[in-house]
Amino acid sequence: MDFVFSERPADGNPQGLALVLHGRGADEKDLMTLSGLFSPRVRVLSVRAPYRYGPGFAWYPLAPDGSPLLDEWGQSVTRLDTLMDQVGGDGLPVLLLGFSQGGQMAVATAMKRRARNLLGVVSLSAPPVPKRFSDRALEGLPVFWAHGRHDPVVSWQRGQAMRQDLRDMGALVTENVYAMGHEISQEEISDLAKFLAEVS
């Protein structure tokens, strides 16, 4: 399956690749404003999720109880893993960044790859991953984790579960908590810019 994406090309020969993954109900244009946080030498691809949801798209459909449908969830993870090999086939190091469902996808794809060829992962306001690929899949990988204490979509408790999973899998977690809801704040953007400057 081919993905649709928006792109910010690198200035000159790319020295890295960033895959940006939107949340449920959004599309590939939603997070393109974050592309300016990356070095001009990084190629940025903001990827559209495969399943239609409301006015936009989702990475997987939900069961009646709100849990991910695992077959579709796993297919999206596998497709993103394949996409990384296709667009980063010349050996470019990759950074995965996602918001909400997209943040969960970023972490899950990194888990599947066991952090291979990854500079780091950014997980913003994301629910925990429903399935483990291995116990220490993110050993030594820098991860920027952020969540709002007042998030009405992905509760604070679920955000904490993601943070604990990242720790348990051996990630080097930069932890960021904000007095906000299900959003990306200016304070968060400022902290994220510092993290990206360090890892890319």
Tell me the average confidence (pLDDT) per consecutive run of 10 residues in the chain, 200 residues long. Answer: 88 92 97 95 96 95 91 95 81 93 97 90 97 86 98 97 95 97 97 94
**What letter would DSSP give residue 150?**
T
The rounded distance, in Å, linking the Cα atoms of 76 and 111 is: 13
- List b or e across 30-68, with b for residues whose CB sees 16 or more CB atoms inside 10 angstroms: bbbebbebbeeebbbbbbbbbeebeebbbbbeeeeeeeb
- Chain mean position to CA 59: 11
pTM (2 d.p.): 0.95
pLDDT at 135: 83
Which of 131, 135, 87, 86 has the alpha carbon at shortest distance from 105?
131
Beta bridge partners of 114: none
The rounded distance, in Å, linking the Cα atoms of 69 and 59 is: 10
Domain coverage including residue 53: 5-199
Do 10 and 73 touch, CB atoms closer than 8 A?
no
pLDDT at 1: 52
- End-to-end Cα spacing for the chain: 29
Q: Tokens 């470019």 — which residue?
A: 92
Do 184 and 99 touch, CB atoms closer than 8 A?
yes
Which of 85, 81, 146 has the alpha carbon at shortest distance from 108?
81
> At 146, which CATH number?
3.40.50.1820
pLDDT at 117: 87
pLDDT at 89: 59
Return the amino acid letter for 197. Answer: A
26, 65, 77, 114, 154 from 107: Cα distances, Å: 19, 23, 10, 10, 16
Structural domains in the chain (count): 1
Do 115 and 139 touch, CB atoms closer than 8 A?
yes
Which of 118, 29, 21, 25 has the alpha carbon at shortest distance from 77?
21
pLDDT at 85: 86
